[in-house]
Structure 1
């Protein structure tokens, strides 16, 4: 277990570690379509419109949360579809997505993946080289931590190495996708912080 040694790290290292682990959740993948402001707007509107559906299916959502460790978090919406197959909630959400102009729920999920990938890339750009510098400092602190075993240090280095690769991969998100998502940054941040949202 590495929980105890983690508690002995400085607040800066803990913050950077948490950030980097969050980065891994939405690692960029190949883009299947060109993202436009219009389909970003449609996707965000569909998320809000689908919230009553999520509330109606809270029991199913609890079941999905129990299996979250098997979700491909780098394509969170597309992966979520796999878990929803065979559930009534899927049909109800698909009705919402079609009302917002998506041909099917698969197209909607791919759009959602791309929106969140572009958002991640923009957040990384906003941090600039400071994030890389902080990570290097955090790695140095882990290496010099006398309370951690070599095995624990190796685990932490591996996690942060994966996060650094994810940060580098964010550079591959197409510029047109970032341009499409940029006007919605504040809205995306607000949605992610809204505890009453089902997403």
Structure 2
């Protein structure tokens, strides 16, 4: 009995990460995502929702990569107004029209595309950036120039940066290759 559960656990450990990644990124998938962004950005309801979200979350939301596509979708659902439900329905329709199964599939592709874009834009390897973040955190901790409240806020920002650098460092070569030809289009579409 123990062996059967062990085998099941191993199978889940192998299968779940593959399921979580969704469809592999390809140039066509990246292109469909970019085109879906263009359609969404032409919609005033979508643009108003983005603007309101930025006002609620503050300036961090205007920094590319500060919020993944899936995190934006979760935030939209949390707000749960009639307008947001209509917006999500429209996003789902546009996602399906562009070859995605649903908004989750679209958001998964968007997250992977953003991470690949970040990975391609790293000026130095992720491990070196992580070491630099370690030094900055240590300096922040030891600094007398910031209040405790400022240190807490900056530590949160550094933690978010660390998470993104780690994620960007883990991007597959396949995802990077799929995104690379579209870097210019993506930066334009994302106002990067």
TM-score band by shorter chain is 0.5 to 0.7
- CA separation in 1, counterparts of 2:92 and 2:156? 39
Residues 111-150 of structure 1: pairs in structure 2 closer than 5 A: 111-124=109-122, 126-128=123-125, 131-132=129-130, 134-135=132-133, 138-139=136-137, 141-143=139-141, 145-148=143-146
Residue 28 of structure 2 corresponds to which residue in structure 1?
Answer: 38
Where 2:35 maps in the other structure, the secondary structure is helix
Report deviation, 1:34: 0.9
Report deviation, 1:111: 1.4
- CA separation in 2, counterparts of 1:158 and 1:63? 23
1:73 to 63, 67, 70: 67
Residue 48 of structure 1 corresponds to which residue in structure 2?
Answer: 38
Question: Is structure 2 residue 183 aligned with structure 1 residue 185?
Answer: yes
| 1:62 to 1:83, Cα distance in 2 relative to 1, 3 A | farther
Residue 168 of structure 2 corresponds to which residue in structure 1?
Answer: 170
Deviations 1:14-62 (A, max 9, x none): xxxxxxxxxxxxxxxx523311110100010111012232x04555555
Mean Cα displacement is larger for which, 43-52 or 132-141? 132-141
Which has the higher relative contact order, 1 or 2, with Cα contacts under 8 A spaced 6 or more apart? 1
Contact kept in structure 1, 2:116 and 2:176, CA below 8 Å: yes
RMSD of aligned residue pairs (Cα, Å):
3.6
Residue 10 of structure 1 corresponds to which residue in structure 2?
Answer: none
Unaligned runs of 5+ in 1: 1-29, 195-199
Report deviation, 1:182: 1.2
- CA separation in 1, counterparts of 2:183 and 2:115? 12
| 1:135 to 1:99, Cα distance in 2 relative to 1, 3 A | same
Unaligned runs of 5+ in 2: 1-19
Report deviation, 1:168: 2.6
- CA separation in 2, counterparts of 1:84 and 1:160? 26
State how many pairs are aligned: 162
| 1:153 to 1:121, Cα distance in 2 relative to 1, 3 A | same
